[in-house]
Structure 1
Amino acid sequence: MFNDKKGSKKGQMEAGKSQNRISHGTVIEGDITSQGGFRIDGTINGTLQTPAKVVIGKDGSINGSLECGNADIEGNFKGKLSVTGLLTLKSSAVIDGEVVISKLAVEPGATFNATCSMNTGVKNLSDSNKKGKTA
């Protein structure tokens, strides 16, 4: 009676909750589209698209394009990078190409050779002033 979960299917995972892993020594040629996050310790030559988080480990690399929600990069990236949330570059990261992001965090030592555009949501000052005032 209390364990009945209406509308849910057994074995179904929520979008973005699953984690995919590309292990060291693995090379993928082509395009990948997923709803889940990724940990990349191998190599992708192509496109990776996901609304979730992508982590590129120290030995990981992407040559192509990446579109994701958030990204932590310790390894190499070459190509077009589009992150709707936060891009974090660790000290061992090497980035070459074109980057479009919302937020950026860079540790000292990271190599960032890219054109960078920041697309942040601009808040209207009149809207924020209305919230603070009461009638």
Structure 2
Amino acid sequence: MALRTDDISINTIIGKGSAISGNMKVNGFIRVDGDIDGSLETDGNVIVGENARIRGNLTAKSVIIGGIIKGNIKANESVKILAEAAVIGDIISRKVQVDGSAIIHGHCISIKDEAEFGKTSGEYLQSKAIKEKVNL
């Protein structure tokens, strides 16, 4: 998996064969090669390795996905979904790149303009929260 990023120092690694149950909030760059059953939030970049599985929402600065995510993704800068990856959930980012045979099952909002992105993503997240409360 080719990676080019500004921040090259990884602060947190969840190794292959590791499993975490529960929500996580970390600082900085994180690489996930194991399984997370819960949401992940960081102010940095995220790499989801090809063997990784996340069942929960993902919030980050930017995301590169090689594995499977079953949950919504919000990345302020970019989302790149590699060829063997799958996302079952909604994607909100300023830039989205999807390789040829990747799978996306959900909505995708991609707006380059920062102000318009903030407004639209806020409205979308609010309407989604209202729908979830109604369906409880």
Question: Which of 85, 90, 95 pairs up with 2:87?
Answer: 95
Deviation at 1:17, TM superposition (A): 5.0
Whichever structure has more helix as a proportion of its residues is 2
1:51 aligns with 2:43: yes
Contact map agreement 2:64 2:81 (CA 8 A) in 1: yes
1:78 aligns with 2:98: no
1:34 aligns with 2:26: yes
Structure 1 partner of 2:119: none
Q: Alignment RMSD, CA only?
A: 2.0
Deviation at 1:122, TM superposition (A): 6.0
Larger radius of gyration: 1
Aligned residues: 109
Structure 2 partner of 1:67: 59
Q: Which runs of 5+ in 2 are unaligned?
A: 1-7, 116-136
Question: Which of 105, 109, 112 pairs up with 2:97?
Answer: 105
Whole-Å Cα distance in 2 between the matches of residues 81 and 121 of structure 1? 18
TM-score, normalised via structure 1 length:
0.74
Whichever structure has more strand as a proportion of its residues is 1
TM-score, normalised via structure 2 length:
0.74
Please give the secondary structure, in 2, of the residue aligned with 1:86: strand
> Kindly, what percent of the aligned residue pairs are identical?
25
Q: Which amino acid aligns with 1:96?
A: I
Deviation at 1:120, TM superposition (A): 3.0
